[in-house]
């Protein structure tokens, strides 16, 4: 990646692009299992468009970002630094983290909040090959009866839910698609 | 060039919006938990909807249609003022029709018609802490929430019953959200409580108290009560004298010096649409 | 036919037009300029800058003009404007020991290097209305003397030499910014100081007064009060050094307070500290007293239940913009809540009447 490449791929019109992206992000967090498209950012490989958009919409100098495994490249670091100013941090200090499920695991290394401040926890952006409304069965707030989502596994997410109201919140990204799984969602094998 | 051309889309700067958006996401992930946020000083007074305005500003897109109500009405002065603020700073379309709106900012009411999946309801909240009137200290109430120690609240409600034969809370009636957090639904009448299990996303903003919380669609929301004193969503025992509705929440209006009263829908858009559809109440068309 | 009250928008526009007319007042009287307010109502300007947390005398003067002299309203205007300003960075901490003092007094030592300088104070004026001011008079002039060129040392420094006063540990951690982070308790001293520095003058004054009257009594001597200009420096990373970006007027107060000591520690004085924008000495002294009262835990004192000792009480109620907003919001419509209570009270009265009737019938 050239020096100028870090400067590209941001929001064309930050206030408006961020607003549209956030509404999609908020919708998937409010409705676990629902898949939406976010196309506002063009990050360097290996980040997906959706992961890049999440980072631009939510990260800034106040939020430590952990780049897991293959995501931690000089090009990604430069791009994140230029567009968000977010410090790159270790898992234990992360407010956000991005990477493949394998690279993010074990997720027990990320902060899950405290009993008085359960919000002081990390949100993980899990890069996936594809997202479909199939597989694991989801139940909980935001879901009228049940929903389905192609999670990388179920045990870890069920364990995370057992920590409620502590725990991690997850976004899943593939291409320009995004879905979410907050800690409030109960998960079982589909 | 208007004064507001100097300000960012929806007034707040992008960093502030990001901070609020992060708080909204946490709120949705832990329904009913009050997320601290660095509320900004808005160009309107604390207590007049600064929390709701910040949440709306962080949620709005230019494609939205915004409705603002206060006491159920679109034309109350503070609703007018907030609607105007967003017309100027975000350039969004506004409406008085509940069904046309994608974001509804409200003070003290939930609209009568069922909200849909595509809608967001933003509440203005004065005191987000449901335990505040029992325990003024934030350090204490935070502990009580963390330990799920809500006995004090039940004791208070029970004392009401022993003294008055009724739970004497008529608005801001506490609810249990997702079986975990006791939450203040904002000062809506308890009549509105059962509507909170709805299709729309509900966001709550308390500016002065620096808290945001949320209820995702279809989240379990239970008004606190006792087996022998079940919760009751009460309203004035009348029907609307303009549109005839017997299921809407009513305002009591004093008509003359003799103190004669009439009851009309507090949700002005609901009342209007019913009248347009041909429904008539007792005093419709009469000169009063 | 009954028509629901409409016309909120027109009512608001009309109210604003009337307000603008009233603000200007009698057109036969000359309009006030911003410069006149800045120069001739400078203590009001100072208060607005201090509680507005924005050092800009012209903007503060504009806010006072716009608010018709309602200073809390002016502070509100400044705060709302301040929120929208971009942050370029933080300055280096100001060095009040280098202050060019217009006023510097100590109640603890009769004489000290730098002297007792009264400066432009009301202290010894007889509070007699000066009717000469009602007419336009000759400009007042004060006698001049050579200013001190050496820095004026802090009085508490002399006590520190003998270890008679607690040394405040130097803390290099960056203080939180209470306008960018939500308040949480317990708060550290820097956070408390920020809240007090922008807190309502009247509220902080009354709390300070309450400590003098025995609610968490801790007798305070004004070790030093100084008012003057200090340089403001900013580090420019690209240059690798800091540059002067201007100067601000500050009022600083350090109190010297009793401390009993213990079996293991010999007695030592402690301090309270106040630092406020502009010439605002009532506020700075009040702040120092309240700061000291809030340090009870750190200094191993008892919590006596006094308001001034209660951090959460003090910090969550000292902001006049928060207070006035919430106070005044009760004039907004509350028909819906009131209606719900009305129905409940009617219902309970009905039930009470029925019960009474039933009892009567039973007898």
What is the full DSSP assignment across A107-142? Answer: GGGS-B--SS-TTSB-EEEEE-S---S-SEEEESTT
CA distance C13 to C4: 19
Handedness of CA A47, A50, A53, A59 (dihedral sign): negative
- The active-site residue out of B265, B278, B281, B285 is B265
Report angle CA C286, C289, C291 to the nearest 5 degrees.
Answer: 105
Residue B139 has pLDDT above 90, yes or no: yes
| pLDDT for position C300 | 87
> What tens digit of pLDDT does each residue of C267-320 get?
889 999 999 999 999 999 999 999 999 999 998 889 999 999 999 999 999 999
Tokens found for residue C147: 């200013």
Is C78 in the same domain as C163? no
Judge contact between A166 and A114, C-beta under 8 A. Answer: yes
Backbone angles phi, psi at C50, to 5 degrees: -65, -50
CA distance B141 to B144: 5
Of B72, B205, B207, B240, catalytic: B240
Q: Is B66 on the interface with A (CB under 8 A)?
A: no
Q: What is the pLDDT of residues C208-258, one digit of tens each?
A: 999 999 999 888 999 999 999 999 999 988 888 889 999 999 999 999 998
B15–A118 C-beta distance less than 8 A: no
Domain membership of residue C87 (yes or no) is: no
CA dist B59 and B79 (Å) reads 18
The torsion angles phi and psi of A185, rounded to 5 degrees, stand at: -85, 130
User: Residues B207, B243, B244, B281: which is the catalytic one?
Assistant: B243
pLDDT band at B235; cut points 50, 70, 90: confident
- What's residue B19's pLDDT? 96
pLDDT surpasses 90 at C136? no
- Residue C180 backbone phi and psi in degrees, to 5: -125, -10
Residue B146 has its nearest CB partner, among A23, A116, A121, at: A116
Task: Write down which chains contact chain C via at least 3 CB pairs under 8 A.
Answer: B
With CA atoms as reference, the chain C residue closest to B206 would be C326
Residue B216's SS3 state is: coil
Q: What is the mean pLDDT of residues A42-60?
A: 97
Number of domains, chain C: 2
Q: Say whether both C185 and C277 belong to one domain.
A: yes
What pLDDT score does C260 carry? 66
Task: Report the candidate in B206, B199, B191, B187 with the shortest Cα–Cα distance to residue B265.
Answer: B191
CA distance B236 to chain A (A): 32
Chain B residue numbers touching C5 (CB-CB < 8 A): 75
Residue with tokens 């509680």: C51
For helices B50-59 and B14-29, the axis angle rounded to 10 degrees is 100
A18 interaction partners in chain B (CB closer than 8 Å)? 14, 17-18
Q: Are strands B93-94 and B65-70 parallel, antiparallel or unpaired?
A: parallel
Q: List the single best residue of A125, A165, A183, A185 to mutate versus B (max B Cβ within 10 A).
A: A165
Torsion sign (Cα): C87, C88, C93, C94: negative
Distance separating alpha carbons of residues B90 and B63, to the nearest angstrom: 10
Do C157 and C223 fall into the same domain?
yes
Tokens of C354: 């029925």
Residues 317-346 of C with CB under 8 A from B: 321-322, 324-329, 332-337, 339-344
Residues C195 and C66 in one domain: no
The backbone torsions φ and ψ at residue B79, rounded to the nearest 5 degrees and listed phi first, read -65, -45
Cis previous bond, C209, omega within 30: no
C212 and C297 in a common domain? yes
Average pLDDT (C108-124) is 92
**Residue pair B167/B229 in contact by the 8 Å Cβ criterion:** yes
What's the N-to-C CA distance of chain B in angstroms? 46
User: What is the pLDDT at residue C362?
Assistant: 86
Residue C275: inside a domain, yes or no? yes
Domain range for A176 is: 3-188
The model carries a pTM of 0.92
Domain that holds residue C275: 96-120+153-169+181-324
DSSP assignment string, C126-187: -----GGGGS--PPP-----PPP-SPPPPHHHHHHHTT-BPPPPP--SPPP-TTTS---SSP
* Helix, strand, coil % over all residues of chain B, rounded to 5: 30, 20, 50
Residue B227 has pLDDT above 80, yes or no: yes
| B250: pLDDT strictly greater than 50 | yes
- What confidence score (pLDDT) does residue C134 get? 87
Classify residue C355: in a domain, yes or no.
Answer: no
A57 touching B, CB under 8 A?
Answer: yes
The 3-state DSSP class for residue A182 equals coil
C112 shares its domain with C50: no
d(CA B105, CA B124): 7
My answer on whether omega of the bond before C252 falls inside 30° of 0, hence cis, is: no
- pLDDT tens-digit map of B14-25: 999 999 999 999
Two tokens at C360?
A: 């009567």
Residue B21 distance to chain A (closest CA, Å): 7
Residue C77 domain-assigned (yes or no): yes
**Residue C112 and residue C76 share a domain:** no
Test the A interface: residue of B10, B29, B37, B204 with most A CBs within 10 Å: B29
Q: Say whether both C62 and C199 belong to one domain.
A: no
Calculate ∠ Cα C243-C247-C250, nearest 5°: 135
Are C78 and C189 in a shared domain? no
Q: Determine, for residues A29 and B25 on separate chains, whether the beta-carbon distance falls below 8 Å.
A: yes
> Phi and psi at residue C49, in whole multiples of 5°?
-65, -40
> B52 an active-site residue?
no
Q: pLDDT tens digits, residue range C21-45?
A: 999 999 999 999 999 999 999 999 9
Question: What is the sign, positive or negative, of the torsion defined by CA atoms of C276, C281, C283, C286?
Answer: positive
Same domain, yes or no: C229 and C103: yes
Structure tokens at B61: 């897109």
Over 60: is that where the pLDDT of B225 sits?
yes
Cα(A71)–Cα(A138) distance, integer angstroms: 28
pLDDT for B99 beyond 90: yes
Q: Residue B151 catalytic?
A: no
What does the block give as tokens for C223?
A: 């070790």
Judged by a CB distance cut-off of 8 A, whether residue A106 touches chain B is no
Q: How many domains does chain A have?
A: 1
- What is the Cα–Cα distance from C171 to C191, expressed in whole angstroms? 13
Beta bridge partners of A36: A178
> Quick check: B114 contacting C, CB < 8 Å?
no
pLDDT at C146: 82
Indicate which residue of B27, B32, B51, B52 is catalytic: B32
Q: Cα separation of B123 and B248, whole Å?
A: 19
Cross-chain residue pair C337–B46, CB shorter than 8 Å: no
Chains touching A, CB cut-off 8 Å, 3+ pairs: B
Residues 18-57 of B with CB under 8 A from A: 18-19, 21-26, 28-31, 33, 35-36
Identify whether the C-beta of residue C38 lies closer than 8 Å to the C-beta of residue C32.
no
Q: Is A2 on the interface with B (CB under 8 A)?
A: no
**How far away is chain B from the Cα of C8, in angstroms, using its nearest Cα?**
5
Percent of chain C with pLDDT over 70: 98
| C48 shares a domain with C16 | yes
Distance CA A103, CA A124 (A): 11
- Interchain CB contact of B91 with A (< 8 Å): no
Instruction: Return the CATH number at A156.
Output: 3.40.50.11310
**Interchain pair A182, B143: CB under 8 A:** no
Rg (CA), chain B: 20
Query: For the ranges A97-111, A169-183, C107-121, C132-146, which has the lowest average pLDDT?
Result: C132-146
As to burial, measured by CB atoms within 10 angstroms (0-12 exposed, 13-18 middle, 19+ buried), residue B237 is exposed
Distance CA C226, CA C107 (A): 12
Count of CB atoms within 10 A of residue B141's CB?
Answer: 20
**Distance between CA atoms of residues C307 and B30, nearest Å:** 35
Q: Is residue C244 part of a domain?
A: yes
The pLDDT assigned to C1 comes to 44
Query: In B, which residues are within 8 Å of A15 by CB distance?
Result: 8-10, 14, 17
Chain B and chain C share a number of CB contacts under 8 A equal to 159
From the centroid of its chain, how far is CA B259? 30
Rounded-to-integer distance, Cα B24 and Cα A56, Å: 16
Dist CA B150 CA B146 (whole Å):
10
Q: Do C2 and B253 touch (CB under 8 A)?
A: yes
Residue C341 lies in a domain: no
* C106 plus C64 within the same structural domain: no
B285: contact with C, CB 8 A cutoff? yes
How far, rounded to the nearest angstrom, does the alpha carbon of residue C195 sit from its chain's CA centroid?
8
Active-site residue flag, B281: no
Q: How many CB atoms lie within 10 A of CB B200?
A: 24
A118 to B33: CB separation less than 8 angstroms, yes or no? yes
**Mutual orientation of helices C42-52 and C201-212 as an angle, nearest 10°?**
90
- Which range is least confidently modeled, B202-206, C58-62, C223-227, C336-340? C336-340
Q: With respect to residue C91, please indicate whether it lies within any of the assigned structural domains.
A: no
């Amino acid at each position: 990646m050239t020096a100028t490449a870090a400067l590209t791929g941001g929001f064309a019109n930050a206030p408006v692009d961020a607003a549209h992206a956030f509404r999609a992000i908020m919708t998937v967090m409010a409705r676990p299992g629902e898949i939406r498209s976010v196309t506002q950012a063009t990050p360097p490989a290996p980040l997906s468009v959706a992961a890049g958009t999440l980072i631009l919409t939510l990260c800034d100098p106040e939020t430590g970002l952990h780049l897991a495994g293959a995501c931690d490249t000089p090009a990604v670091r430069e791009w994140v630094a230029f567009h968000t100013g977010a410090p790159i941090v270790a898992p234990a200090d992360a407010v956000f983290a991005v990477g493949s499920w394998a690279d993010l695991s074990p997720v027990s290394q990320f902060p899950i909040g405290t009993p008085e401040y359960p919000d002081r926890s990390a949100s993980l952006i899990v890069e996936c090959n594809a997202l479909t409304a199939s597989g694991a069965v989801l139940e909980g707030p935001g879901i009228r009866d049940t929903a389905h989502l192609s999670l990388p596994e179920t045990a870890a997410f069920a364990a995370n839910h057992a920590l409620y109201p502590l725990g991690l919140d997850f976004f899943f990204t593939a291409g320009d698609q995004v879905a979410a799984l907050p800690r409030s969602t109960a998960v079982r094998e589909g | 060039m208007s004064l507001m051309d100097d300000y960012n889309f929806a007034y707040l700067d992008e960093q502030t919006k990001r901070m609020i958006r992060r708080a909204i996401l946490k709120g949705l992930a832990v329904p009913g938990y009050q997320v601290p946020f660095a509320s900004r000083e808005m160009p309107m007074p604390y207590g007049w909807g600064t929390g709701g305005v910040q949440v709306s500003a962080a949620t709005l897109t230019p494609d939205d249609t915004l409705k603002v109500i206060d006491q159920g009405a679109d034309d109350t002065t503070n609703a007018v003022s907030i609607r105007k603020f967003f017309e100027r700073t975000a350039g969004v379309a506004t409406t008085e029709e509940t069904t046309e709106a994608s974001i509804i900012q409200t003070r003290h009411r939930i609209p009568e018609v069922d909200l849909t999946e595509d809608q967001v309801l933003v509440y203005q909240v004065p005191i987000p802490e449901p335990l505040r009137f029992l325990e003024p200290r934030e350090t204490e109430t935070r502990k009580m929430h963390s330990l799920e120690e809500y006995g004090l609240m039940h004791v208070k409600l029970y004392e009401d019953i022993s003294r008055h034969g009724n739970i004497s809370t008529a608005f801001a009636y506490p609810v249990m959200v997702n079986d975990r957090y006791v939450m203040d639904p904002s000062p809506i009448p308890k009549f509105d409580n059962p509507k909170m299990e709805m299709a729309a996303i509900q966001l709550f903003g308390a500016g002065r108290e620096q808290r945001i919380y949320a209820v995702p669609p279809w989240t379990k929301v239970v008004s606190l009560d006792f087996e022998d004193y079940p919760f009751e969503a009460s309203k004035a025992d009348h029907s609307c004298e303009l549109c005839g509705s017997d299921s809407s929440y009513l305002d009591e209006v004093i008509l003359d010096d003799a103190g004669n009263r009439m009851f009309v829908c507090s949700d002005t858009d609901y009342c209007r649409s019913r009248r347009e559809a041909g429904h008539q109440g007792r005093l419709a068309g009469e000169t009063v | 036919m009954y028509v629901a009250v409409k016309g909120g928008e027109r009512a608001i526009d009309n109210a604003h037009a009337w307000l603008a007319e009233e603000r200007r007042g009698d057109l036969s009287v000359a309009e006030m300029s911003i410069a006149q307010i800045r120069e001739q109502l400078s203590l009001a300007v100072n208060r607005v800058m201090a509680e507005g947390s924005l050092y800009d005398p012209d903007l503060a003067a504009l806010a006072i003009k716009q608010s018709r002299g309602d200073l809390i309203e002016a502070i509100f205007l400044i705060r709302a404007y301040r929120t929208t300003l971009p942050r370029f960075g933080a300055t280096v901490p100001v060095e009040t020991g280098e202050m060019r003092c217009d006023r510097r007094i100590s109640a603890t030592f009769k004489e000290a290097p730098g002297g007792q300088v009264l400066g432009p104070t009301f202290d010894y004026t007889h509070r007699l209305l000066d009717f000469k001011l009602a007419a336009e008079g000759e400009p007042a002039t004060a006698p001049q003397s050579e200013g001190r060129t050496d820095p004026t040392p802090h009085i508490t420094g002399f006590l520190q030499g003998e270890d008679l006063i607690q040394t405040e540990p130097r803390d290099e951690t960056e203080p939180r910014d209470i306008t960018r982070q939500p308040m949480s308790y317990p708060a550290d001293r820097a956070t408390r100081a920020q809240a007090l520095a922008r807190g309502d003058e009247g509220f902080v004054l009354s709390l300070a007064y309450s400590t003098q009257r025995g609610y968490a009594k801790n007798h305070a001597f004004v070790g030093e009060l100084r008012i003057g200009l200090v340089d403001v420096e900013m580090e420019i990373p690209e240059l690798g050094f800091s540059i002067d970006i201007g100067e601000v007027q500050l009022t600083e107060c350090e109190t010297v307070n009793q401390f009993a000591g213990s079996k293991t520690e010999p007695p030592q004085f402690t301090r309270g500290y106040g630092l406020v924008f502009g010439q605002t000495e009532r506020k700075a002294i009040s702040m120092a007293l309240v700061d000291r009262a809030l340090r009870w835990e750190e200094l191993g004192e008892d919590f006596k239940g006094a308001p001034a000792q209660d951090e959460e009480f003090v910090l969550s109620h000292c902001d006049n913009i928060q207070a006035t907003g919430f106070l005044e919001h009760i004039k907004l419509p509350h028909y819906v809540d009131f209606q719900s209570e009305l129905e409940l009270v009617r219902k309970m009265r009905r039930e009470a009447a029925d019960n009474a009737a039933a009892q009567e019938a039973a007898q």
